Amino acid sequence: MNQQYSKLKKAIEVFHTYGITLTGHRKNDHFIQKLNMDPIFVNGLIFELEYQLQLYLQDEKLREVSTPKELISLLLEIPQNN
């Protein structure tokens, strides 16, 4: 459980560097449509999350992700020793 908390804390810090708030309904906003993020910045966000958390996210699973909440759920599903 402590590892999950650490991963979540790091992920929140990365989201904040991209100006994404994870409170309220904003966590369900679509990256491109509602948050007006360019796809390049979405890829940068994903890269930064992978780097900070020392994880690798599979492209097949990333195609299904379109909101911050979905991305965080995906990050927390991955085992720590990835």
**pLDDT tens sequence for the chain (82 residues):** 688 888 899 999 999 999 998 989 999 999 999 999 999 999 999 999 999 999 999 999 999 999 999 999 999 888 765 4
pLDDT of residue 1: 63
pLDDT of residue 81: 57
Q: Give the sign of the dihedral formed by CA 73, CA 77, CA 80, CA 81.
A: negative
Number of domains in the chain: 1
Domain assignment present for residue 82? The answer is no
Domain assignment present for residue 48? The answer is yes
Domain assignment present for residue 21? The answer is yes
Domain that includes residue 45, residue range: 2-77
pLDDT of residue 76: 87
Nearest to 46 by CA among 57, 32, 33, 34: 57
- 33 membership: H or E segment, kind and range: none
Domain assignment present for residue 15? The answer is yes
pLDDT of residue 80: 61
